[in-house]
Structure 1
Amino acid sequence: MAEQKRHSREGLEKFLKERPNQQELVERNILKDPKIAPAIQHQAEELKRARLETALAHKIENRPPASELIDHNILHATNVAPALQCKEAELKRSQLEDKLNTKIQERPSADALVEKHILEGQTV
């Protein structure tokens, strides 16, 4: 029995040493801010929430229209579902890469351009 009490005490002491301090608990929203009286903490939370709601509503009301975001290349004009837009962009990029690689492979050599009098000078 004494051994069990000692083991429990050691466990409790270890737990107490490792527990977070009051400020950490406030930051993790486990405890309320100790600077505010408990009687008005609820009202302070409601006020904070109301301010946040007002700020968000204001930002939503004043956000630019989609056409303006498209003009500034923030959004892309597309008829594809949002979940597929990333894949669409990857596909377009891949197609462009393929097209450019094909054009690079098909371009005439410098010697051919000199022969056609497009380039001047010696062959490279």
Structure 2
Amino acid sequence: MAAVANPVACFIAMFLPIRSLFFMGFLTMFGTGFGAYIMAMAALSPCPLLVHSASGTVVIVLAWILFVLSLSYVKVTIGVILRDEGHSALVWCGAVVQLGSMLGAVSMFPLVSVYGLFRSGDACNTKCPM
């Protein structure tokens, strides 16, 4: 579902770009809040909150959908705004997006590979408290 949210957000942003700085700031904070929730649940793995309940599944799926939807909309709207500024602005926008991807990968590598903060559970052997 989250994979569908990205093209839906991009489609909406291309035809309905809301260029309000307040609205974009709100959507950024909204998406960041869902991203923080997703990271917290991943850090609590293999026993996150509501691990064996249907509501836990619904909450995490909705969090992913709203996270991708809101931040994809903001990213495309920023691109639409910078498109009006010229080619150079779009080039810098692309460079900053790639820099952000690199910083995310560099910061996550030690958390996953060195410190083992995120780990998967074995469905047959992991016992989570209810």
| Richer in helix (by share) | 2
TM-score (norm 1): 0.32
TM-score by length of 2: 0.31
The structure number with the bigger radius of gyration is: 1
The higher-RCO structure (CA 8 Å, 6+ apart) is 2
